[in-house]
Structures are given as structure tokens and as C-alpha cells.
Amino acid sequence: MKFLDEYRDADAASTLVSAILRASTRRWVLMEVCGGQTHSIVRYGLDELLGDAVELVHGPGCPVCVTPLETIDRALAIASRPDTILCTFGDMARVPGSRTDLLALRAQGADVRIVYSPLDAVAVAARHRDRRVVFFAIGFETTAPANAMAVSVAHRRGLDNFSALVSHVRVPPAIDVIVDAPDNRVQGFLGPGHVCSVLGTSEYDDLSRRHGIPIAVTGFEPIDLLSGILAAVRQLEDGRSEMENCYGRVVRNEGNASARGLVESVFDVCDRKWRGIGSIPKSGYRFKDSLREHDAEVVFDVGDIETEESTECISGQILRGLKKPGDCPAFGTRCTPSTPLGATMVSSEGACAAYHAYGRVRLGEAGNGAERGQRLPLVSLSGGGDGARERGS
Amino acid sequence: MAAPRPPGFALDCPVPASRYDRIVLGHGSGGRLSADLVRDVFLPAFANATLAALEDQATVDLAGAGRIALTTDSFVVHPIFFPGGDIGRLAVHGTVNDLAVGGARPLVLAAAFVLEEGFEVERLRRVVASMRAACDEAEVQIVTGDTKVVERGKGDSIFITTTGIGLLPAGCALSVARAAVGDAVVVSGTIGDHGLAILSVREGLSFETSLQSDCAPVTSLTQAMMRASPRIRCMRDPTRGGLASALNEIAQASRVGIELTDATIPVRAEVRGACELLGLDPMYAACEGRVVAVVPAGDAPDVVTAMKGHPLGRDAAVVGAVVSAHPGVVTVRSSVGGVRTLPMLTGEPLPRIC
């Protein structure tokens, strides 16, 4: 398939791997920011091809994963109301809240609809003027323009029965938190290609300068990822720390001005809680005051929901690159994609779910399996079947 | 009611029970939740050796008068007319194929219709005419049937259940439990055509494509394969849950590992493209006119040649091998050299595709 197969080419991949192995004089720790990148790395086994040259740790860029439990409980509370239709991306529907999930609620009679575009939710609102239609709007800067578009279209058409439950997050403040932590191990980043296609690369220039850390903005295919890794390794070896755009076929340095304008016309930047990490200043979007009539948190009185996360789950440390899925004693036993304990197992793009689906950690030896770079799977489990999934970052 | 896990199979780790106390759409996906339902609800209630084999069809010995294969299947596909087929054609070929992959020659079918109040008789006629044409193509007859009507809103236009009986040749012993280390895995053609053809006409998702469902009767193909190698271990038609789930069923029932090579698996460019856009994996997308078989490695060239000589097998290929490592687990080697597991389908990516 044109524009895809060439980025999965075996010869090109092997050339890049050799170049990385040649360039690297020590084991560098790189973090890929996006869940989609994590998924590709584990799916294609790229980390294993790199051996001791590079350790890849997995970042917080899976939007489903970092959506707080209380936000999911709010969605469940809204979906349980009579005369309400909750529209959501497929991935989010499976994520359990404190007591149930959206698919189980649907089985009990709630009107929960899986949509592929936020504009589909607007169409539902136009068809059902006598019911309140809520879109569960999650994601990074990548999905924010489409969600902003949905709100703006609904507003223009006077669809006062349409609202959105917003849990949007922004990447750069999370990178600040990771790098500033006293126990940080990350020496370079693979930057989020799709996020940069919207916002441009200037924020990453700034991050790279402020922290003195290389950021190679890249994509999601094996060749993109390996090119980004090579660029970051060369910078580290040369003692440079720059933003380098390795995804030029998609990312222009100035980004997409009209998409950015749309986001700025609907959302303001706000503090936002990330599941597994906690509250990060200026790391989210919320509705502008002039559009509060479309804010589901205002329309529905679901503000105060207390939740309790599993104390066993180590997803907070995984999301900051301090640990790997194999370090968790619950991995694959008490915690599986069907019965997730926390953030990194709930969505197919989470690091734990990817390791689980692709058989990366040998059960029974979980604990330090990931460090030993183990292959294969003695037990078949669940996982798999990607399903409808939004690309958040 | 095929399920992947024969009784007695035990996972090596404690897997938590399903968190659902009501039926969710995922219970009909043909993947993990479907298997759990069969294991937890149906198998204990109906316990008997024939059912416990969990093949796509039951083999029943007629006390010295030969052996028959018996199977039944319900069809709830939405929409009922789709590119390359309709619910009627699917209802005939789905059941015919479940018999054919067991090595049987399908003889007769029974058909039961659940119709919703308000369903247009003209559309019913179209479905029935399509069933007749499908029967002619598959050389079977519908010899008995039933019709029920439910109130408007209590069904969705039309649901069809077909039951089929086929004749098993003497000595035929195909079984998902017979895959052996060293065997080759062969596939008869491109995977995922049906699943993506259905998705392309779903409301809210429709996309322009020339893709057609592969819905077709595979009897003459499976017969040709069996003539090429009487030692074929087992065959499956990879419907719900796709190639990945069918091979997991074989790996688990035979307690062997299966290793696939991604680059050898035939997938149409349209299917790959649509899967990329929608975040789906073609390995889990349904086929309705394909066969996956495990054959002794030495016989694989003859079987593939025989398949290629059949109109439904032109793209046939050896796609993997049966191995002793990681029993019960299917793996696939990617184009760039990494290896990943291919677990049973979980969740509900494509409800009501058949």
C-alpha cells in the first residue's frame, strides 16, 4: 500500500537498526510520548531489535489511559439518566469505571452509542431534539480540533440539547513533569507526530531548549520510529539537544493554523488531572465561558464523584518512564485487559495492554521480565482485537 | 456454538472471571467473551462428549449406518443487503461451510425465520430468492422451516437460523485437536473481505470501496483439498473473530504453538487500507468464503496447488507452521522482524457481521 508499505520495509528497517547500533556508545533511555507509538514499537518488536543500544520507556500519550476514573464515572452517571444519549469512541466504552462500564450500562437499557467522529454525535443531537445528547470528548491536541468543530457546529445550529463531557489533555506540560522529577531517567524523547501536525513544533523547540534534552518528532510506522530513534541517539552522542522534525511528510513546523484557531475558539487552557499521574498545571482544555451551555459537567450535576484507585497498580510510574509493565506483580494475573486495575491496562494503546496483547512478558516471571528483554509468551490470554480506537496523540 | 477451549484446558494463571452479569454485544463476537459464555453457561448444561469436542459441526454416528455432520447457525447481519451478498445468501453458505470444513458433503438444510412486524414482504422475497440461488450454488436443498413474527421494535427486520446435515465420508477424522508439530498452516485466499464489506455500508461509517463480501460455499474447495491430501488435520472457516481466533482455537485444542509470517498472509489493499483508517486488525476481520487448514508439511504443496486450481482458492498460500514452543499461543512475525502474539479476540469491534 503506497505511503505505508515503504515505512514498514524490512531492508530499510535493518539499515536503520544497524545505524543506531553503530552510533550508540552506551545505553540511552528514550521515551516515546504517544500510545500509538508504544503500540507500534511493541507490535513490531522494535525495542528488541535495538538490543542494548537503546532502552525505550513508554510515555503518557494514551488519551483513554490518562482519563481520570472520576471522569469515567461521570460519563456513566450521565449515561444512566433517562432521555439521554451518550456518544463515545469505541475504546472508551470498554473502560471500567468504579463499578461498571458503558457497555454493561447499555445492556441494562442505557442509550450508549459508539461513534467514529464527534460530528456523528451532533447528527444524533439533531435527530433527537427531545433528548440530551452528550459526546465523551477525550484526547490530546490531535482530537481537540474535531471535538471543537463538533461543539462549534452544534452551537451554530442552535442544538441546545448537545453537550460534551471534556477531558482533553496537552502533551508539553506532561513532558515538563516527567523531566523535572528528581528520579527522571529519560534522556531523550520521540515527540508526538500527530499532536505536532496540529500545534506545530515550536513548543517542542522550547521544551528541548529549557530542559537541554533532544526531542525527535516522529510518526507511528517502524521506519518513522527508527528514524526518530537514530536522530535522538546521534544528538545524545554529539551532546546536542534540539527539536528535530523527523516526520516532515506530516508535520509542518508551523502546524495547522485553522485547526489551532478552532481549538482556541472553543477551549481555554486549564489545569487537568491525569489518571496515574495527578493534576498537572495548564495541561488540559476546558470550555470557554461563552460555550458553557454545551459543557456536560454544567448541564448535568455530576461534579462531585469520589473514587478509589487500586493501590497495587504502578501505572503512574510506568507513565513517567520509571517502571515497565513486567515490574508489576499483578500484570497478567489480577490485571488483564478484561479486568484492568489501572490506567495503562484500560486501553489497547496503554503500555500494559500492548505488552499483554503482544505477549511481551512471560507470566510467572513478571517482576523483572521486561528488563531481561524476554520474548514470548507461555500463556495465551485475552487482549487483541483492536476495535474502534481513536488516535489521541 | 464453536468455542476455542475444550474442557479440561487450564490456563497457567488465574484469570479473573468476566465482569459482566448481563449479555453485552461482545458475547456475540466469536472471541473470548463468546467462549466464556459457552464454557460457563452452555457446556455445563448440555454436557456430552459430542458437544464437548467444540468443532464447528457435531459428528453423529448413526449406529452402523454411517456418520453425519450436524450444525446450526443464526444470522443477524446488519444491514441485511450488503456488497457481495445478503442475509439469505449468508444463512445458506454459513451453515454449508460449517459442514464442509468438517469434511462433510452438505445434504439438506432447515431454515427458521424471525420476522419483525412491518418488514416489507418484497424484501423478504428478495432474501428468499437469494437463499434459493445460494442453495443451487451449494447443491443443497432447504427441506423444512419455520416462521415466527415479533412485534415492531422487538426484532430488526429479519433474523434467520439455518440447520444443516451433511454426509461424512468413511475414515474422515478432521479435528481441531489434531494439529501436530511441523504441520503447515494454509489459507485459501484474502482475509477480512466480508467484515470490511459490511463495515463499508454501516451507517455512520460508510466509506467508498469496491470491496465485496467473499460469501461463498466452500464445499467443492474443501473436497478438492481432501482429494489432494487425505491427511489434512483440520479445516476451519474463519468467520467471526477472523483468522486469529480460528487459529487460536486450533492451537488451544491441539496444545501446539502456531507461528505465522505476516508477509505471506493474503490481504487485499482495500481491506488493509480500511483497517488502517479504522484502527482494526485484518487478522480479526471475518471471512465467509475462506478456509484455513492445517496439513502435514509434506502435503502442503499439493494442497496449495489443488486450492489454486479452484476459483475460491486462487490466492491460497502457506502462511505459517505448527511449532512445539508456546503451546496454545499463536504468534506472527512482522515485516521488520519482530514477533508478537495474536491472542483471541476480546471486545466487540464489529457486532452483527453475520
Q: Does A269 lie at the interface with B, CB-CB under 8 angstroms?
A: no
Q: Nearest to residue A188, comparing CAs of A211, A164, A222?
A: A211
Which residues, including other chains, have CB under 8 Å from residue B325's CB and lie 6 or more apart? A376, B257
C-alpha cell at A153: 457546529
CB-CB neighbors (< 8 A) of B21 in chain A: 104
How distant, in Å, are the alpha carbons of A57, A190, A374, B206 from that of A371? 11, 20, 8, 45
Can you give the pLDDT at residue A367?
32
Amino acid at B103: G
Can you give the pLDDT at residue B204?
64
Q: Is the peptide bond before A377 cis (omega within 30 degrees of 0)?
A: no
Can you give the pLDDT at residue A304?
74
Q: Å from B251 to nearest chain A CA?
A: 10
User: Do the Cβ atoms of B19 and A389 come within 8 Å?
Assistant: no
What's B63's DSSP letter?
T
> What is the band of B29 on the pLDDT scale with cuts at 50, 70, 90?
confident
> What is the band of B32 on the pLDDT scale with cuts at 50, 70, 90?
confident
Q: Smallest Cβ distance to A332: which of B13, B19, B280?
A: B13
C-alpha cell at B10: 487450564
Can you give the pLDDT at residue B354?
75
b/e for A319-344, b at 16 or more Cβ within 10 A?
Answer: bbbbbbbbbbebbbbbbbbbbbbbbb
Q: Nearest to residue A328, comparing CAs of A338, A339, A316, A69?
A: A316
> What SS3 state is found at B216?
coil
Question: Rounded CA gap, B275 and B262, in Å?
Answer: 15
Question: Rounded CA gap, A177 and A166, in Å?
Answer: 22
Question: Rounded CA gap, B231 and B173, in Å?
Answer: 9
Question: Rounded CA gap, B305 and B300, in Å?
Answer: 8
Residues 278-317 of B with CB under 8 A from A: 278-281, 284
> What SS3 state is found at B186?
strand
> What is the band of B1 on the pLDDT scale with cuts at 50, 70, 90?
very low
What's the burial of B128, exposed, middle or buried (CB within 10 Å: 0-12/13-18/19+)? middle
Name the stretches of chain A with pLDDT < 70.
1, 303, 361-393
> What is the band of B242 on the pLDDT scale with cuts at 50, 70, 90?
very high
Residue to mutate among B329, B339, B341, with most A CBs inside 10 A, is B341
Can you give the pLDDT at residue B18?
58
What's A159's DSSP letter?
-
CB-CB neighbors (< 8 A) of A103 in chain B: 20, 24-26, 348
Question: Rounded CA gap, A173 and A169, in Å?
Answer: 9
User: Do the Cβ atoms of B340 and A358 come within 8 Å?
Assistant: yes
Pairing label, strands B81-82, B85-86: antiparallel
Question: Rounded CA gap, B20 and B13, in Å?
Answer: 20
What's the burial of B215, exposed, middle or buried (CB within 10 Å: 0-12/13-18/19+)? buried
Can you give the pLDDT at residue B11?
32
For B73, list phi and psi in degrees, rounded to 5.
-155, 140
Q: Nearest-CA residue of chain B relative to A364?
A: B13
3-state secondary structure A231-296: HHHHHHHHCCCCEEECCCCCCCCCCCHHHHHHHHHHEEEEEEEECCCEEEEEEEEEECHHHHHHEH
Question: Rounded CA gap, A117 and B204, in Å?
Answer: 8
Pairing label, strands B257-261, A278-287: unpaired
Q: Does B266 lie at the interface with A, CB-CB under 8 angstroms?
A: no
For B37, list phi and psi in degrees, rounded to 5.
-65, -45
Q: Which residue has the cell 492445517?
A: B294
Decide: pTM greater than 0.90.
no
Can you give the pLDDT at residue B196?
92
User: Do the Cβ atoms of A384 and B281 come within 8 Å?
Assistant: yes
CB-CB neighbors (< 8 A) of A390 in chain B: 279
Does the ipTM exceed 0.85?
A: no
pLDDT at B205 over 60: yes
> What's the Rg (C-alpha) of chain A?
21
- C-beta separation of B346 from B227 below 8 A: no
Q: Nearest-CA residue of chain B relative to A374?
A: B339
pLDDT at B4 over 70: no
Cα A153 → chain centroid: 26
User: Do the Cβ atoms of A107 and B338 come within 8 Å?
Assistant: no
Question: Rounded CA gap, A70 and A97, in Å?
Answer: 8
Question: Rounded CA gap, A136 and A146, in Å?
Answer: 13
Residue to mutate among B20, B256, B271, B346, with most A CBs inside 10 A, is B346
Regarding predicted confidence, which is higher, B304 or B57?
Answer: B304
For A283, list phi and psi in degrees, rounded to 5.
-105, 10
What's A372's DSSP letter?
T
What's the burial of A378, exposed, middle or buried (CB within 10 Å: 0-12/13-18/19+)? middle
Q: Smallest Cβ distance to B18: which of A14, A338, A386?
A: A338
What's the burial of A156, exposed, middle or buried (CB within 10 Å: 0-12/13-18/19+)? exposed
Q: Å from A153 to nearest chain B CA?
A: 17
Q: Could you tell me what percent of chain B has a pLDDT over 90? A: 71
Interchain CB contacts (distance < 8 Å): A and B: 179
C-alpha cell at A276: 496515574
User: DSSP letter string over B97-148?
Assistant: HHHHTTT-EEEEEEEEEEEETT--HHHHHHHHHHHHHHHHHHT-EEEEEEEE
> Tens of pLDDT along B99-149?
999 999 999 999 999 999 999 999 999 999 999 999 999 999 999 999 999
- C-beta separation of B163 from B110 below 8 A: yes
